[in-house]
Homo-oligomer: A and B are copies of this chain.
Amino acid sequence: MTIKISIDCMGGDFGPSVTVAAAVSFATREPDVEFLLVGQEAILQSELKKLGAQNHPRLSIVHASEMVEMDDPIEVALRRKKDSSMRVALTQVKDGLAQACVSAGNTGALMAVSRYVLKTMPGVDRPAICSILPNQNKQPTYMLDLGANVDCEPLHLHQFAIMGSALVAALENKPRPTVGLLNVGEEDIKGNDVVKRTAQLLRADHERGLLNFYGNVEGNDIFKGTTDIVVCDGFVGNVTLKAVEGLGRFVKTTMTDAFKSNPLNMLGALIGRGALKQISKTMNPSNYNGGSLLGLRGVVIKSHGGADKYSYEWAIQRAFDAVKNDVLARITTSLAELMPVPAEASTTSSGSTEQ
Which of B187, B195, B223, B242 touches A249 (beta carbons < 8 Å)? B223
Is A275 located at the chain interface by the 8 A CB criterion?
yes
The answer for the CA separation of A251 and B281 in the assembled complex, in Å, is 12
Q: Verify A259–B272 contact, CB threshold 8 A.
A: yes
Q: A147-B184, A242-B220, A243-B219 are in contact. Are A272 and B264 (CB under 8 A)?
A: yes
The answer for the CA separation of A147 and B268 in the assembled complex, in Å, is 41
The answer for the CA separation of A283 and B247 in the assembled complex, in Å, is 10
Interface residue tally for chain A (C-beta within 8 Å): 70
Q: Verify B150–A283 contact, CB threshold 8 A.
A: no
Q: Verify A239–B354 contact, CB threshold 8 A.
A: no
Q: Verify A246–B258 contact, CB threshold 8 A.
A: no
Is A343 located at the chain interface by the 8 A CB criterion?
no
Stretch with Cβ within 8 A of B (4 or more), from A95-103, A115-123, A228-236, A291-299 = A228-236
Is A221 located at the chain interface by the 8 A CB criterion?
yes
List B contacts of A1 (CB < 8 A).
none
Which residues of A159-196 have CB atoms within 8 Å of chain B's CB atoms? 182-184, 187, 189-193, 195
List B contacts of A140 (CB < 8 A).
none
Q: Verify B278–A272 contact, CB threshold 8 A.
A: no
Interface string of A206-238 (1 = CB under 8 A from B): 000000000000111111100000001011101
Query: Can you report 23 residue pairs joining A to B where beta carbons are below 8 Å apart?
Result: A71-B187, A73-B189, A147-B184, A150-B191, A183-B239, A184-B234, A191-B235, A192-B353, A195-B235, A218-B238, A219-B245, A220-B242, A220-B243, A220-B249, A222-B243, A244-B244, A247-B247, A254-B278, A255-B279, A261-B275, A268-B271, A268-B274, A271-B272
Q: Verify B246–A274 contact, CB threshold 8 A.
A: no
Which of B195, B218, B235, B270 touches A242 (beta carbons < 8 Å)? B218
> Please, which residue of chain B has its CB at the minimum distance from the CB of A225?
B250
Q: A191-B235, A223-B246, A261-B278 are in contact. Are A273 and B283 (CB under 8 A)?
A: no
Q: Verify A272–B279 contact, CB threshold 8 A.
A: no
Q: A219-B238, A272-B269, A272-B272 are in contact. Are A250 and B187 (CB under 8 A)?
A: no
